[in-house]
Every structure is written in C-alpha cells, then in structure tokens.
Amino acid sequence: MRKFLQDTVTELSYYLEIILSAILAFALLFFSLSLIKDLSGFLSLESSDEVLLQRFLGKAMTLAVGVELIKMFSKSSPNTVIEVLLFALARQLVLDHANILDFLIGILAVAILFAVRKYLFTQFDATNNIIMRASQKVKIANVIARVNIQANKSETLRDFITRKLSEEDMTVAVGACVYLKNVALRIDKMHGDTITRVEIIKGFY
C-alpha cells in the first residue's frame, strides 16, 4: 500500500509539472507577442539607442530563461538545470553593468557550470528504473515505462535483451546490461536459463 501511494504521488507530481509547463508556455507566448508589439513603441521613445537595446535584450533574455524553465519542468534532469543557470548567468553578464571583478566572477561561474556538465555528469546520473516481467511485449513496456525501445514487432523484453546480448557476444546472465539511447536494460532475475525479470533503467541525456 505504501509503495502504491508513493507511486501515485510521484505520478501526480509528474502531471502537475506538465500542467505548470503548459501554463508557463502560454504566458511566454503572450509576452513574446508583447515583445514584438514593443518594437514599434521603442522607436517612438526619446531614449538613446543603447538604452533601447538594453531594454529589448533584457526582455528577450528573460523570455529565454523562461523557455529553459519549461524544459526543466517538463524533462527534469541535471542537464536542464545547468542550462537554466547558464542562461540566467548569461543574462546577468550581458545586461548588468558590473565592475570588472563581478564580470570575471560571472565568467568563472559559467566555466564551472560547463566543467560540471562535462566531467561530473554521466549518461545515467539522473535515472529511475522499473522491473518488469521478461515476457512483457516491448511495445507495452514502452508505454508503461515511458521509453522508446525500438524492437521487432511482437518482440518481448526477454527476446529483445537476448538478441542484443547475442549481437554483442555477451553472456546472458543476471546483471548483464544492454545500453541503448537514454535507456538501459538489465537482466534482474533468471530461472535456470530463462530470463524472468528485466530492469528498465531510464537516463535523461
């Protein structure tokens, strides 16, 4: 019962994030149209070109940060979080008239974010997994686990992972893994020589 409630709450939070992303996308669409409308208004203002450009860039880059937030809500991962931070830092560096020390600190922060993404993240840093019967059809597993495993028609998880391990000359045994794009399949349990459980491990990038 506890596991069921945990899964239900997790699933509910997933859909709430999607709804929040849709609301934010609608708001950004409205403000994007407003930005186009502001172009004619900027031309009539009695301000210098530099001030007008800074004001326009400020609105545009704020919208760009909003777009990255939508990505983060709809597909949460360390990579999308880093992208939001990079856009936010870039906005501050471009628009703020900071002194040279603050500017150098901002550049250093951007360099650190790039280094973190390159050297500290692995393909499956942010993952979740689900264990399924090996007799389950791959097309059904795709729906349940929200993955996109390209398999032959009517192929089961057992057939698929056995075929892939054979192609790579790997032994069919508990713990053996098949790595695909954004997902891995691992043999979780066997009964004799027959695979009975397969773990689907989802990665985000």
Cα(91)–Cα(67) distance, integer angstroms: 13
Instruction: Tell me which residue of 155, 173, 175 sits closest to 163, measured CA to CA.
Output: 155
Residues 97 and 180 in one domain: no
One domain, residues 133 and 161: yes
Task: Find how far residue 77's CA is from the centre of its chain.
Answer: 4
3 SS3 class: helix
- Same domain membership, residue 9 and residue 101: yes
Task: Please tell me whether residues 138 and 189 are part of one structural domain.
Answer: yes
End of a domain among 119, 139, 168? Answer: 119
Q: What is the pLDDT of residue 161?
A: 92
Q: Which domain holds residue 181?
A: 128-202
**Residue-level pLDDT at 97:** 67
Average pLDDT per 10 consecutive residues for the chain, totaling 205 residues: 65 78 86 75 61 76 83 72 81 75 84 79 62 89 84 89 90 89 88 90 65
Q: How far are the Cα atoms of 9, 27, 31, 62, 70 from residue 19, in angstroms, in the given order?
A: 15, 13, 19, 21, 10
Q: Are residues 38 and 136 in the same domain?
A: no
Q: What is the pLDDT of residue 205?
A: 47
Same domain, 99 and 149: no
Could you give the 3-state DSSP secondary structure of residue 191? strand
Question: Is residue 95 located within the same domain as residue 142?
Answer: no
The structure tokens listed for 144 are 């349940």
Query: Which among 100, 119, 138 is the end of a domain?
Result: 119
Going 16 to 22 to 27 to 28, the CA torsion angle's sign is positive
Which residues on adjacent β-strands are paired with residue 132? Answer: 198
- At residue 183, the 3 state secondary structure works out as strand
Q: Is residue 116 a contact partner of residue 79, using CB atoms and an 8 Å limit?
A: no
3-state secondary structure of 188: strand
The answer to whether 83 touches 68, Cβ cutoff 8 Å, is: yes
Q: Which of 138, 135, 30, 13 is nearest to 76 (CA)?
A: 13
Q: Do 46 and 135 have their domain in common?
A: no
**Residue 184 DSSP symbol:** E
Write down the pLDDT at residue 204: 47
Q: How far apart are CA 24 and CA 8, in angstroms?
A: 24
Question: What pLDDT was estimated at residue 27?
Answer: 86
| Number of domains composing the chain | 2
